A and B are shown apart, each in its own frame.
Chain A
Amino acid sequence: DGGITQSPKYLFRKEGQNVTLSCEQNLNHDAMYWYRQDPGQGLRLIYYSQIVNDFQKGDIAEGYSVSREKKESFPLTVTSAQKNPTAFYLCASSIKGGTEAFFGQGTRLTVV
């Protein structure tokens, strides 16, 4: 089945540690995105990538980093520089030039 997969579903991290969230898609989409969602809030764009080996900052990129070495994969690293990392993280993809984004099931990150 085609789709977009995020792992893990739940993640706990100690303050001061970096952590990487996985996102894989087999939809053959060129564009991929990372969003952050806080309780009762909408989605805020962290980073997006239109093509392999290229990515751009979104609205709240500080404290995050990404890579796009393969078309299928767009991992997000939450660094220790992110001051408030506890949130629900959503990865999405869309076809090049298209706008309908398909979302993964999310990773809930909790900093303890």
Chain B
Amino acid sequence: GESVGLHLPTLSVQEGDNSIINCAYSNSASDYFIWYKQESGKGPQFIIDIRSNMDKRQGQRVTVLLNKTVKHLSLQIAATQPGDSAVYFCAENPSSGAGSYQLTFGKGTKLSVIP
């Protein structure tokens, strides 16, 4: 079946370095993608989203890249800080219209920042 998954379950980076978290999706009909950050014991927090008519979107210290050809999504975090340590989930919605309210989540990547 269709699924969203992540290449790396864990990622350790040095404070100040850039982090790249990857996500593969298999539903070619998906046209909306979201990255969430989840700290231990808390609910997921929205980071950034992107629609399929875009290849790149930037936020504050974060950039999401979408490669529809290979169905790949990545989250780049610049100058990683200890507060960035968390589990990061990508999520997709097969249709961003009124017909679909379901997000499909990947299993997440745990990012650990080394001081």
Contact = CB atoms under 8 A, between A and B. Distances in A.
A101 B106 contact: no
Contacts of B52: none
B22 interface: no
Contacts, number: 57
Contacts of B106: 42
Interface of chain B: mostly helix, strand, loop or mixed: loop
Nearest to B110: A40
Given A45-B102, A97-B98, A103 B107 contact: no
Nearest to A31: B101
Contact of A99 (B41, B44, B89, B96): B96
B8 to A, nearest CB: 14
Given A40-B107, A43-B105, A100 B49 contact: yes
A58 B93 CA distance: 14
Size bin of chain B's contact surface: 20 to 34
A58 B102 CA distance: 9
Contact of B107 (A41, A50, A92, A94): A41
Nearest to B45: A103
Interface residues of A, number: 27
B103 to A, nearest CB: 6
Given A48-B101, A94-B101, A106 B93 contact: no
Interface string B81-95: 000000001000100
Contact of B97 (A94, A97, A103): A97
9 contacts: A42-B106, A43-B105, A45-B102, A45-B103, A50-B101, A58-B102, A99-B34, A100-B49, A101-B46
Given A48-B101, A103-B45, 8 more contacts: A40-B107, A42-B105, A94-B101, A99-B49, A100-B34, A100-B46, A101-B34, A108-B41
Interface of A: 6, 31, 33, 35, 40-45, 48, 50, 58, 90, 92, 94, 96-97, 99-106, 108
